Amino acid sequence: MKKITAIIMAVVMIAAAFAGCGSNKTDSANKNTGKKTTDATVSEVKTATKGKLTMVTNAEFPPYEYKEGDKIIGIDAEVADLIAKKLGLELEIADVDFDSIIPGVQTGKYDMGMAGMTVTDERKQKVNFSDSYATGVQSIIVKDGGSIKSIDDLKGKKIGTQQGTTGYIYASDTPENGGYGEKNVIGYQNGALAVEALKSGKIDCVIIDNEPAKAYVAATTGLKILDTPYTKEQYAICFSKDNSELQTLVNNALNELKDSGELQKVVDKYIKAD
């Protein structure tokens, strides 16, 4: 009798252990992919430099990324740092021209591009994107008291943008597609140079994302943002199509930061509600 009880006990214990295993697995499984950033697989993730997460950006885009002395700060830089920490990696940031970001990610020179980058179908052909982490709006900056009073006055005007950005892509498109024609649009190396050109009267307006637009207008006298925004878009992090494993891990980390409210905290630090 004793022996039978012992056998039953053993069976019950083994069954319990198995049940435990099973439930553990579901607990730690992330809703999207089953890989939590704390899983052992994270330490094996392939990056351009072992132990590092290399983000490439264009640090001319306040408040997402800009320089304070030699340091690159901003929403993207801080969120990337939190992501890297979750993955047990050290963040390294490379600063290049905006239109060099995607090529650098495609070749695997950098692990991810994070630059207030808008998800577009054309870019999706070249790189993979994370889930979106912010909404952007293309705004129009004009001179106070200038000839452009609304978006309807843009036809035939000289429009400044940052080269390679959606502002350039949309504005330089044909009128049938809602643009103003390539010959009317100038792509500057960065937004600050476009704003400089507007100030000195070389161009009539600047089309750029609303948050940098606000930062530039706040730092310059005599400029304002038109009430009608040009277009609405989603920002996301881009990855090489060859490293979907890293993409998944970063995406999960990003979603954890969204869920915990840490992402919003970073945004609130840089963007004050108006």
Chain residues that interact with ligand ARG, rule: CB under 6 A: 57-58, 60-61, 65, 98, 115-118, 136, 162, 165-166, 209
- Which CB atom, from 45 or from 185, has the smaller least distance to ligand ARG? 185
Least distance between ligand ARG and beta carbon 162 (Å)? 6
CA dist 158 and 180 (Å) reads: 9
Least distance between ligand ARG and beta carbon 65 (Å)? 5
Beta bridge partners of 113: 56, 238
Instruction: Say if CB 82 and CB 91 are below 8 A apart.
Output: no
- Which CB atom, from 57 or from 128, has the smaller least distance to ligand ARG? 57
Least distance between ligand ARG and beta carbon 164 (Å)? 7
CA dist 36 and 58 (Å) reads: 30
- Which CB atom, from 30 or from 118, has the smaller least distance to ligand ARG? 118
CA dist 178 and 174 (Å) reads: 7
- Which CB atom, from 162 or from 243, has the smaller least distance to ligand ARG? 162
Burial track 191-228 (b if 16+ CB lie within 10 A, e otherwise): bbbbbbbbbeeebbbbbbbbbbbbbbbeeeeebebbee
Least distance between ligand ARG and beta carbon 161 (Å)? 9
List CB contacts of 266: < 8 A, sequence separation 6 or more: 75, 78, 79, 82
Instruction: Say if CB 56 and CB 96 are below 8 A apart.
Output: yes
- Which CB atom, from 63 or from 86, has the smaller least distance to ligand ARG? 63
List CB contacts of 197: < 8 A, sequence separation 6 or more: 160, 186, 188, 203, 206
Least distance between ligand ARG and beta carbon 115 (Å)? 4
Least distance between ligand ARG and beta carbon 15 (Å)? 55
- Which CB atom, from 92 or from 256, has the smaller least distance to ligand ARG? 92
Distance linking the first and last C-alpha atoms of the chain: 78
